[in-house]
Every structure is written in structure tokens, then in C-alpha cells.
Structure 1
Amino acid sequence: MRSFTCPACGNLLFFENSSCLACGTAVGYSRPDRALVALDGRRRCANAAIAGCNWIAGDAGPLCDCCALTRTRPADGDAEEAFARAEAAKRRLVHQLDDLGLPTDGVVFDLLSSEAEHVVTGHASGVITIDLAEGVDSHREAVRARLAEPYRTLLGHFRHEVGHWYWEVLVERAGRHDGFRAVFGDERADYQEALREHYAGDPDPDWNRSYVSTYAAAHPWEDWAETFAHLLHVRDTVQTAGAYGVLVAGRAIAPHPDAPVDAEPAEDGAGFDELVDTWVPLSRAVNQLNRSMGKDDLYPFVLAPDVLAKLRFVDSLVAGAGRAEPGTVR
């Protein structure tokens, strides 16, 4: 995430701010500008109250461009807190997709509450379904523990599920099947059978040599989606570190001593090697900071050589898409 400043006084603002705490200026996020701008008569998104949306409404209606991507949502009064959390995660997702130059036309979101019906978080050719129960900490933590997952977040769900859509955009439509299969395997393997086998048995004890998570080992499509999500995790966290001037340096950080975390991307984004060289010392440092606070590792994953090769492949396709029409929001 980039850093933001008040357009009136220059005070530091966070992505979620709707006003400056220093001077009181009302601000809103402008998607075309990718910045927080003074409201100055602009219309706030109609979801400002119910979802805490601080984006400026689009020209086509009362909602901002991000909220307009939600095709289905709970009725007023149902799961409002979880809905607000989901929309907040979606705003971060959309901002990052814009930053990477990835198109968002063709993708919509169904944000549904499993309190009233059976809901399965998933995807179907651009339709992303999120169970709003994942916005309830107790539910999400219980599922994380039951599935023995080291990491489970609402934003992670959005990044994973939208990753399936970008497989269709960057691989399927572009005819890059051979390159994909050389790295991830053959996606023509029976998907449902692969999932049944995954949930029925124990993971291979050496799974982390080739996969970023046990779920990634289930099928090449899930491997892609998990890898895509992890690329977004890494790029966003490294960008945030750079934006806030975080520095990781010192002899104890070998093999990257005195390696600055300077991750504000260049016009076309930081190269993959630069990204990894920055991420390794940064992730080690933040994991140790979490442990100092009695928390689990912030990033409890190992990026083995095979996993890095997959991340590099995904990053190359994302970078190529981002260079297609530089400077545009699609």
C-alpha cells in the first residue's frame, strides 16, 4: 500500500481515512487519481455509512467503482459488520489490482451471509463468492485451526479467489497453457476428484519443497491461485515498507546484511529479483517482531526454489498485463 497525505496540510493519512485528523479536511479516495483528495463537493459513495467506504462515487450512480463491483450483498440489517469488513478488504484488493495494471472489468463479487443460507467461498468465471462469516474473527480462526492452516485472512480469500479469474485472463485467454503446465502441471486433471483426494488424505510431508501451501498441492488451478495471492501479499507488504521508510539492516540479517527495504515500485514495478531480495530480510524481521509480541509469524511460509519459480512465472504475466496500457485504470 502506498502512503497518502492530506491535500490541504500534508499530514499523513491512511488509505481508510475520510477526513484529516490534523486539519479536519474531508477527503475521499479518487480511483482515477489513486489518491486521497479533498471532497470539495464531490459525492461520497452511498456505502459510506453501511460499509465505511471512503471512495468517491462514480459518474454512473451512487456507488463508487469498487462497491459497484459487488453484485449481491446481504439485506440491510444482516451481517452488517462482516459486510463492512469484506468491502474494506475488497477496496484494498481493487486498489492493488489498479496499481498492478490488472483489469477489473469482467469480475463481480457476491458477498453472502451463511447465517441465512449455505455459502461456499469460491469462483466461477469472474464471479467471486465470499462467505461473510470469514469476516467474523471467531469463525475464521476456528476454520483455520480445523484445517491446520497457518494463515487465513479475509483479504487473503479475496486475493486467492480473484487469482482464479486472472488465470482465465492471463493464461486461458492468452493461450499460455504450455508455459503454465511446464511450471504448475496439467490443469486438465479432474478438479473435483483432486479436491476429494486432497481433503481425504494427509499432505505429502515434503509438500513445501514445491508448493507455498498444502492447499496449493491439491490441483494446478489451486496452486496458481495460492501463488497469485502470495505474490500480492509480498508486493503489497514490500510496497508498504518502502512507502513508510522501513529499513532492515544489520549483521544478524545475513545473507542480506545492510539490505534496505526500498520497495516503492518504479513506473513498471520492481523487478522480481529485487522484490525477493527485499522480501526475505523483511519477512524475517516482521516474523521476529510478531514473536516478540507473543504472536504467530506474520508470514509463516517458506519460499523454496520451486515456489520461487512459480512466483516468478505469475509475476511475469502480471507485469506484462500491467505494461499493456500504462497509466490507465481498467
Structure 2
Amino acid sequence: MGFIPEDTQLSAFTTNQYGNLQASSNGLLYRQCKNYSQYDVCNWMVSVDESEDYCGSCRLNETIPNLDESDNLTLWFRVEQAKRRLLYTLLKLGLPIQSRRQNPNGGLGFSFLKDQTQDQYGNELTIKSFVTTGHANGLITININEADHGTRVDMREKMNERYRTLLGHFRHESGHYYWDRLIANSDRLEEFRKLFGDERLDYVGAMQSYYKNGPNPNWQNVWISAYASMHPWEDWAETWAHYLHMIDTLETANDYDFSVSGNMLANPIPMETNNDQVYTASSFTHLFNDWCQLTKVLNALNRSMGLDDAYPFVISISALDKLRFVHELVIDAKSSA
């Protein structure tokens, strides 16, 4: 089995008489990505017509974990799973993805790093170099300790968060990349500022204030999460991530013919590539209504299993308007691609 990125489809493969892998889905010939055949951390395929050893997903990697450390292969596998799910959704939405090879100063890339420790007093480990998950000029850095379930849950508790996942990190950081691509130099910047605030606000000062004083006490009525109240850039990234949560989960539910009270949940992916405002507004209303129905069921099912809510958020009118803005941008980006 392997994923064909140009078809956004998983396919079975057979070995033909010449020893090549032939896809059952389209009859074309492929080979495994090197990170598939060598490390089994990737399941994307490379066309035999390409000279590349790595698939389109792995070619975006700038730095991978040090595989001489015993646990890092497992952590890297989990990180790559989350990254490929992000990329799948971006591809399905028709969003622009430009690699750092194509654009060294702002192309999309990934760096997977781990905190460096050193011995102290013979048996205790202290942090020598701490890796911060974040984004800078298209490069998304992920601390692979987030792929360790115990470490991530511990951090979630310390940060007083109700939701923290690897996939959530990828979606959030990709929001910063797409702010640069879709908003920064566009005619939508003023509209962004009316909804999210002025991004020229001192970011370092806002961050220090957030971690010292906590989120805005009124955050539930304005922002989609507590962290979103820190700065307009983080508000945008959180809203973008939530939009991708909606798209991917609804597409999965539709693929399984999921219905609520007899109403089939629609596939949100087939968006019209036009700028018809009536269509855009109605498609978002349909998407959001389906999301409300689905998350109500998801949370109830999780509670029946004694688990935390799958989607522990309440979307205010203000946050809803921001999600609608994201939806409009995605449709615009697809129509102009």
C-alpha cells in the first residue's frame, strides 16, 4: 500500500514483470519514498519518472531527528504521520505549497528537533538546549518531545490546555505560513485587522504579558481559544487550525457515510473555484452546521468511553466570523491557483 500525492489517494501496488511497483488505482509505476523503504516512517510514493529519492512530503524536511538515539525513530514516525495528514488536507483544498528549494527565503519546510540534555551531578539530566515549536519565514520547527504522549499530556496540564496534539501543532504553525502567503501582502489585510486586530502590535510584549498574566478574562466571548487572545497572529493561527480540524474530520465522517438524526454529513472538500459570494456564504453555513452536529456526537461518544471531549471548544459569534474569513480565503486561493 502507498499514498499517491498527485491523486491524493491510497492505492495497492503489485510488482510487475519488470520488478516495478504498479498502482492498482491508476496503472502507473512508482517506487517507495526512501524514508518508506529504509525507515518505514512514510507511506508516500514517488513516480518512476522522477529522479528524486524522497516523496513530496519528505522533500520538505530540513532537519530530521538524530536516529542514533534509540527512541527517536518512534517519535519521528509519529511526527511524520501528523505532517502527512496536514499536507493531505492542504493538497485537497488546493492551497499553494512552495518548498524551500523553490523559495529559500519563505518556502515551506520542516525541522524536527529535540531538547538536548546533559548530565548533572552524575545521574540527573538537565536541559542544555530547549527546542521551541514555532514558525519563522516558512520553516516550521517541531519539538519531537511532543510526540511522546506522556510528555505532551504533562505539558498540556502545565499550560492549562484542554487540547494539545501533534496534528494541532502542525495545523497551527501552518497558519503562520499561510498568513504570509494569503494575507500579508494582499488586499484582505485591512479586513483581517478588523476581525483579528492589528498584527503590528508588539509580539514579544504580548507574549510576555500572556505568560505572566494569563489569557484575556473575556476570551471565551471573542477568541476561539485562550491562546488566541495573546496576539492577532496567534488568533489567526488558532482559527486556521480549527478550520482544518473541521475540514478533515467532516471529510472523514462523510467518507464513512456518517449521518446525524438521518442527515448525511456533507464532504466539505469539493469547493467551487469561483468568487460567488452567495455560494461561499451558504457553503460555510452548511459546513459549520454539520460541524456542530458532528462534534456534539463526538463529545458524547467520548464521554461514554470515559474520555475527554474530542472537541472541547465553544465557538462564539466573533470566532465564527473569523472562521468564515478563513473559508473565504481558502476558496479564493483555490480559484486563483
- Both structures adopt the same fold (TM-score exceeding 0.5): yes
Deviates more, 1:187-196 or 1:55-64: 55-64
Structure 2 residue 290 is matched with structure 1 residue 316:
no
> Partners in 1 of 2:304 and 2:109 — Cα distance?
40
The one-letter amino acid paired with 1:111 is F
- Match in the other structure for 1:7: none
Rounded to whole Å, the distance in 2 between the matches of 1:321 and 1:36 is 25
Indicate conservation of the 8 Å contact 1:29/1:37, yes or no. yes
Give the aligned residue type for 1:114: D
CA deviations 1:29-53 (Å, max 9, x no partner) are 1111111234342210111142431
Partner of 1:47: 35
Aligned-partner SS, 2:260 = coil
Q: Could you tell me how far 1:180 is from its partner in structure 2?
A: 0.5
**Structure 1: which 4+ aligned runs deviate by more than 3 Å?**
none
For the residue of structure 2 that corresponds to 1:130, the secondary structure is strand
Of residues 166, 171, 177, the one that matches 2:189 is 177
SS of match in other structure, 1:149: coil
> Which residue of structure 2 aligns with residue 9 of structure 1?
none
Query: 1:112 maps to which residue?
Result: 113
Partner of residue 56, structure 1: 45
Q: Check if 1:91 corresponds to 2:84.
A: yes
Question: Matched residue of 1:71: which SS?
Answer: strand
Report how far residue 69 of structure 1 moved.
0.5
Counterparts of 1:163 and 1:61 in 2: how far apart (Å)?
28
- For residue 60 of structure 2, what is the aligned residue in structure 1? 69
Matched to 2:74, the amino acid is E
CA contact (8 A) 1:51 1:85 kept: no
Equivalent residues of 1:243, 1:264 under 8 A apart: no
Structure 2 residue matching 1:47: 3-state secondary structure = helix
Tell me which amino acid in the other structure corresponds to 1:213: S
What amino acid does structure 2 have at the position aligned with 1:260? M
1:211/1:306 contact within 8 Å kept: yes
1:260 aligns with 2:249: no
Task: Compare CA radii of gyration and give the structure with the larger one.
Answer: 2
TM-score if structure 2 supplies the norm length? Answer: 0.83
Match of 2:199 in 1: 187
Partners in 2 of 1:266 and 1:98 — Cα distance?
12
- For 1:124, the equivalent position in structure 2 comes to 136
Once the two structures are superposed, residues 48-74 of structure 1 have per-residue CA deviations (whole angstroms, 9 ceiling, x without a partner) of 142431110252421110011011112
C-alpha separation in 2, matches of 1:123 and 1:60:
30
> After superposition, what is the alpha-carbon deviation per residue over 1:229-263, rounded to whole angstroms, capped at 9, x for unaligned?
000001111111111111111xxxxxxxx543232
Supply the distance in 1 between the matched residues of 2:185 and 2:35 (Cα, whole angstroms): 34
Q: TM-score, normalised by structure 1?
A: 0.85
| CA distance in structure 1 between the aligned counterparts of 2:201 and 2:67, rounded to whole angstroms | 42
Farther-moved stretch of structure 1 (38-47 vs 313-322): 38-47
In structure 1, what residue type is equivalent to 2:272? D
Q: Distance in 1 between matches of 2:39 and 2:89?
A: 23
**Are the structure 2 counterparts of residues 207 and 57 from structure 1 closer, same or farther at C-alpha, using a change threshold of 3 Å?**
same
- Residue type at the aligned position of 2:156: R
* Separation in 1, partners of 2:39, 2:240: 30
Counterpart-to-counterpart distance in 1, 2:223 and 2:40? 36
CA pair 51-217 structure 1, distance change in 2 beyond 3 A: farther
More moved, 100-109 vs 261-270: 261-270
Spell out the pairing of 1:267-278 with structure 2 (5 A cutoff). Answer: 267-268=271-272, 271-278=283-290
1:119-148 deviation per Cα after TM superposition (whole angstroms, max 9, x unaligned): 110000100000000000000000000000
Which stretch has the larger CA shift, 191-200 or 34-43? 34-43
Deviating more after overlay: 91-100 vs 35-44? 35-44
On the 8 A contact 1:51/1:88 being kept in 2, the answer is no
Report the 3-state secondary structure (helix = DSSP H, G, I; strand = E; otherwise coil) of the residue aligned with 1:231: helix
Residue 215 of structure 1 corresponds to 227
Indicate the structure with greater strand content. 2
Find the counterpart in structure 2 of residue 29 from structure 1.
3
Aligned equivalent of 2:260: 248
Residues in 2 aligned to 1:274 and 1:308: alpha-carbon distance in whole angstroms? 13
Cα separation, 2, equivalents of 1:80 and 1:163: 27
Larger deviation, residues 191-200 vs 117-126: 117-126
Code of the aligned partner of 1:62 = D
The one-letter code of the counterpart of 1:46 is K
For CA contacts below 8 A with separation 6 or more, give which structure has more relative contact order. Answer: 1
| Contact kept? 1:51, 1:87, Cα under 8 Å | no
State the identity %. 42
Question: Distance in 1 between the 2:152 and 2:257 partners?
Answer: 32
Q: State the partner residue of 2:159.
A: 147
Structure 1 CA distance, aligned partners of 2:51 and 2:111?
A: 20
Partner residue in 1 for 2:17: none
Q: What 5-or-longer segments of structure 2 have no aligned partner?
A: 15-19, 21-29, 99-106, 118-128, 274-279
Correspondence 1:229 to 2:235:
no
1:288-317 deviation line (CA, Å, top 9, x unaligned) = 000000001000000111000000001111
Structure 1 vs Structure 2 CA RMSD: 1.6
